Chains A and B, each alone.
Chain A
Amino acid sequence: DIQMTQSPSSLSASVGDRVTITCRASQSITTHLNWYQQKPGKAPNLLIYAASSLQSGVPSRFSGSGSGTYFTLTISSLQPEDFAIYYCQQSYSSAVTFGGGTKVEIK
């Protein structure tokens, strides 16, 4: 299985901050990388697909980049509704795998 490693596992930030989360794959996955946001008690919600494409309806403050084994999710100006857990996920293999998650908390 392809291992996905996210960092940090948690971070504290203030409203208006720029936040970057990283995701590394154990082998090249080209751009088969997606990002999801999950709030307590809810299913994950797709933010970014194909490493850098913004899902319809997702605010433009979210952006993704990377290819191969290194990827980033950036929130340009953190809003109160962005406090949540973020997961990366590879679709290079049909046996998909997810990163361990990054919890974004209020400072």
Chain B
Amino acid sequence: ETGVTQTPRHLVMGMTNKKSLKCEQHLGHNAMYWYKQSAKKPLELMFVYNFKEQTENNSVPSRFSPECPNSSHLFLHLHTLQPEDSALYLCASSLVGPIGELFFGEGSRLTVL
């Protein structure tokens, strides 16, 4: 079981659709992250929110739009995606501070047709 819950677990969308991925944590953490894991590639950090403030954006295309309304919830809004955006999108959270443990959710498997 995990303290980080991601929905939906699977999503298929067309290139013109708009959809959102949701992440929720009940661990009392204040930092939340979005990672992308493509087939046979390392995990790529996309965004970091620290106390609801975006502190990292690793040159992610604007078709990915994050939102962090509070410390427990994180969204990734998707629009006009490309087939190469198909991947496993992982949310993680951690306590404030540079060390410790990243707690990951089980991921949302996205397929763009």
Chains A and B bind each other: no
Task: Give B contacts to A, CB under 8 Å.
Answer: none
